[in-house]
């Protein structure tokens, strides 16, 4: 039986209601996370950089941790890395507004040092809850630290990038962090190949979903 397009209590289309509730859930998470003091980084941060973007994004982009610009503004991927990420996304026909962008750590480690294990342990529940709310199809992981943390391995970038990796219910792609690309422009080509592969996969999955929906509605 085909489900009703409208909720019985009001006239808001169901899809829109799902998007609204995801936005509300994310807003609640944002407010709670801003008060988080679960690890030592609470004492050195200026802002908690929770994440931003489309609450129903098909793709979530996850980096390592906020840097100085992000800490100052409270927004993820601003400054030079953010500009480069914007260009990378545009090159494969994604607008920044249609995806969701965040990091494994929500507060800046002093001097941009790598996250410590206990900080990751304290902070990961925020990220897992974000993914639970947004329910993306694809995750683009930026950099080795974020990839090793999320995928729980110790593999090199050479092994992780350039292929589809299934983690939980998500299709993941790993590529270089934009900050690393700014330091090593030679890696841009590999990053370009990675995001193109991700785009092709995204198009295949969207088509599959459209066909599936079409079959259900017939």
Min dist CB 65 to ligand SF4, Å, is 8
In this structure, the number of other CB atoms found within 10 A of the CB of residue 48 comes to 23
Min dist CB 123 to ligand SF4, Å, is 3
Say if residue 65 is exposed, middle or buried (CB neighbours under 10 Å; 0-12, 13-18, 19+): buried
Query: Cα(208)–Cα(204) distance, rounded to whole angstroms?
Result: 6
Min dist CB 31 to ligand SF4, Å, is 13
Which residues make Cβ contacts (< 8 Å) with residue 53, sequence separation at least 6?
Answer: 60, 96, 97, 98, 99, 100, 101
Query: Cα(158)–Cα(155) distance, rounded to whole angstroms?
Result: 8
Tell me whether residue 102 or residue 147 sits nearer to ligand SF4 (CB atom).
102
Tell me whether residue 126 or residue 176 sits nearer to ligand SF4 (CB atom).
126
Min dist CB 8 to ligand SF4, Å, is 39
Query: Interface residues with ligand SF4 (CB under 6 A)?
Result: 33, 36-39, 41-42, 48, 105-107, 119, 122-123
Min dist CB 141 to ligand SF4, Å, is 18
Tell me whether residue 42 or residue 155 sits nearer to ligand SF4 (CB atom).
42
Tell me whether residue 129 or residue 201 sits nearer to ligand SF4 (CB atom).
129
Strand bridging mode 59-63 / 170-175: unpaired
* DSSP result, 39-88: SGGGGT-SS----EE-TT-SEEEEES---HHHHHHS-SS-HHHHHHHHHH
Tell me whether residue 6 or residue 121 sits nearer to ligand SF4 (CB atom).
121
């Amino acid at each position: 039986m085909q489900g009703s397009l409208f909720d019985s209590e009001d006239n808001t289309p169901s899809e829109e209601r799902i998007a609204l509730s995801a936005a509300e859930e994310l807003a609640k998470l944002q407010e709670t996370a801003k008060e988080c003091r679960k690890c030592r980084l609470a004492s050195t941060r200026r802002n908690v950089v929770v994440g931003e973007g489309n609450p129903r994004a098909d793709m979530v982009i996850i980096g390592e941790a906020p840097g100085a610009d992000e800490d100052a503004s409270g927004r993820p991927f601003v400054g030079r890395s953010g500009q480069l990420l914007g260009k990378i996304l545009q090159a494969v026909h994604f607008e920044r507004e249609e995806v969701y962008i965040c990091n494994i750590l929500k507060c800046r480690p002093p001097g941009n040092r790598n996250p410590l294990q206990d900080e990751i342990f304290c902070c990961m529940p925020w990220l897992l809850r974000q993914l639970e709310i947004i329910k993306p199809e694809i995750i683009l992981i930026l950099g080795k630290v974020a990839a090793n943390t999320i995928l729980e391995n110790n593999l090199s970038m050479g092994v992780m990038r350039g292929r589809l990796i299934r983690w939980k219910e998500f299709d993941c792609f790993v590529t270089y962090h934009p900050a690393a690309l700014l330091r090593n422009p030679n890696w841009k080509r590999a990053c370009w190949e990675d995001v193109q592969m991700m785009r092709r996969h995204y198009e295949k999955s969207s088509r599959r979903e459209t066909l599936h929906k079409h079959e259900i509605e017939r």
